[in-house]
Amino acid sequence: MSNGPRWKRVLLKVSGEAFAGPSGKPVDAVGVRSLASSIADAHRQGVQIAVVNGGGNILRGAQSSIDGLGRATADYMGMLATVINALALQDLLADQGVPSRVLTAIEMKSVAEPYIRLRCLRHLEKGRVVILAGGTGQPYFSTDTTAALRGTEIGAEALLKGTQVDGVYDKDPKVHDDARRFASLSYADALRRDLRVMDKTAFTMCEENGLPIVVFDMGVDGNLVRLLQGEEIGTIVSKDAAEIEA
């Protein structure tokens, strides 16, 4: 294990499901508190952390209850859902004693700051966690793409994708008992195997800008800190990584 953090600045991507918790409520105090605690522990390692969160915990109910909802409208609703989650995360980070700022791609001055790259960098340099909500501000782009874009913009050294599985598999481990997990992959290997690490737009952006992707299980207590400390957790996808099974 290294003496210092593996990376100085990271972009953490988490899904909306991380905010739901065990109760089944769209936003659950247990889920958000657990997420905030993990981020707070990581922040105390001296790592600059920007977070992009999804809104699927809120959006799916809206989609199922409105027939004929258009894609652009649904995407805008999803962006607003990410702001709801971001505000909850901000409050519970404050409970952990961690300063944070919510920056949104959709201007809403009463609740958050507008996303401006230099402002984001300034907050990170001052030791604040930055929560980047509102997607890209445009429809037809996923939060994966938002994470890849923002990670590239702020000079993150890695994009950490916190999921509910412990890495990238050759096939769905929830369906196939013989699914094999990879410890590392190159971008080329992931493309050749047609592994859905991220959506294609996000993956291509990471590949073109040399931004490593680490897919890991965010639901395991301490995993984020251990990853930052250099433990081999999850699957890393990068330019020069060899294809190695875990």
Q: Which pLDDT score is estimated for 233? A: 93
Let me know if residue 3 belongs to a domain: no
pLDDT in tens, 85-101: 999 999 999 999 999 99
Domain assignment of residue 102, given as a range? 9-245
* Residue 239 placed within a domain: yes
In a domain, 4, yes or no: no
Residue 2 within a domain: no
pLDDT one-digit tens code per residue, 17-42: 889 877 778 888 888 999 999 999 99
Beta bridge partners of 77: none
pLDDT in tens, 170-204: 988 888 889 999 999 999 999 999 898 899 999 99
Query: Which residues are CB-contacts of 105 (< 8 A; sequence separation ≥ 6)?
Result: 79, 114, 115, 132, 133, 134, 135, 136, 137, 138, 146
pLDDT (0 to 100) of residue 1: 46
pLDDT at 61 over 60: no
Note whether residue 163 is domain-resident: yes
In this prediction, what percent of the chain has a pLDDT beyond 90? 74
Residue 167 lies in a domain: yes
1 within domain boundaries = no
Q: Is residue 46 part of a domain?
A: yes
pTM of the model: 0.93
Helix (H, G, I), strand (E, B), or coil: what is residue 104?
Answer: strand
Closest CA relative to residue 154, chosen from 130, 112, 121: 121
pLDDT in tens, 116-156: 999 999 999 999 999 999 999 999 999 999 999 999 999 99
CA-to-CA separations, 131 to 103, 110, 157, 169, 218, in angstroms, rounded: 6, 16, 17, 29, 17
Q: What domain count does the chain have? A: 1
CATH of the domain at 99: 3.40.1160.10
